[in-house]
Amino acid sequence: MATVDALTALSGSKSSSSTSAVATSNQEGADRFLKLLVTQLQNQDPMNPMDNAQLTSQMAQINTVAGIEKLNTSVNAIADKLGGLDNSAGLAQLNSTLSGLSGQMLQSQTLQGAALVGRPVLLQGSGLLVENGTAQGVFDLGGSASAVRVDVLSANGQVLDSQDLGALAAGRGGFTWTVPEGVSAQGLKYRITATNGSSNVGATTYSLDRVGTVSTGSQGLVLNLNQAGATAWTQIKAVS
C-alpha cells in the first residue's frame, strides 16, 4: 500500500484547490463562449440566419466544457478513493466513481454527436442514398484509372443502368444517378469497375447515408441513419 499512500498524500493536499481553480476557469470560459454566441445571434444576417446544425454544434461545445469540468472532478475523486482499496467499502466507492465517470463521458460524446444530425456519412457498403429522386454514390480508387464504369443495380441485383465516368485519379470519387419514373428507389446498389490500360484498379465502395438522430448504447455512441438504421459510431468511415 506504499504506492497508494504516496499517491493519496501527493493528491490530497492539492486536489481541492486545483479542482476549484479548474472549475472556476472552465465556468469563466463557458460564460465567455455563451456571450459570444448570443452576440453572434443578435448580429446575424436576418436573410441568412445560422442554421440548426451550426447552432447545435456550438451548443454542444458549451456542454463539452461542462463535461470536461465534471471529468476532472471525477478523476480527482478516483485518486482520493485509492487510499481505501484495502476494504470492500473502498472498492464499492471506487466502482461507483468509475461508473459515474463512464456515464459522464458517454453523455459528453452524445452531445458532440448531436452536431452530426442531418449530415451525410459514409460507411462500408454499396447502397445508394436516394433523395429527391437522385441517387448518390461515393467510392475510393486504389490507383489512377484510365476508365471507370459504374453499374446501378436493383435490390435483386439486376443492372438498371451504367455510366462511364472516364479517367479518374486515385482517391475518392462520386457520382449521381437520376432514378427513372416507375423504378423503385428501395435497395438500390452499385458496383465500380476500374481499369488502367489492361490492369484492374481496386475500388472501395461506400454507402452514403444521412444521420437522423443520435443515441447511446452498450457500444457507445449510436447514429440512427435514415436508411441503415442504428449504426455504431465505429462503423462510420467519414463525415461529409
Q: pLDDT means per 10 residues in the chain (240 residues)?
A: 38 47 54 59 57 53 54 60 56 60 61 77 91 93 96 94 96 94 92 96 93 77 85 81
Domain boundary among 73, 100, 116: 116
Residues 151 and 177 in one domain: yes
Q: What is the pTM of this model?
A: 0.54
Residue 8 and residue 40 in one domain: yes
**How many domains does the chain fold into?**
2
Residue 11's pLDDT is 40
Tell me which of 81, 116, 151 is where a domain ends.
Answer: 116
pLDDT for res 1: 43
User: What residues make up the domain containing 195?
Assistant: 121-210
Query: Residue 103 domain-assigned?
Result: yes
Does some domain include residue 28? yes
Examine the domain organization and report whether 111 and 44 are in the same domain: yes
Same-domain check for residues 6 and 109: yes
CATH number for 183: 2.60.40.4070
Helix, strand or coil for residue 132? Answer: coil
Going by their DSSP bridges, the two strands 171-178 and 129-131 should be labelled as unpaired
If asked whether residues 24 and 102 sit together in one domain, one would say yes
Q: For residue 115, with 0-12 CB atoms within 10 Å meaning exposed, 13-18 middle and 19 or more buried, which class applies? A: buried
- The verdict on 204 and 103 lying in the same domain is no
Q: Is 51 left (phi over 0), alpha (psi -120 to 50) or beta?
A: beta
Q: Same structural domain for residues 92 and 143?
A: no
pLDDT for res 205: 95
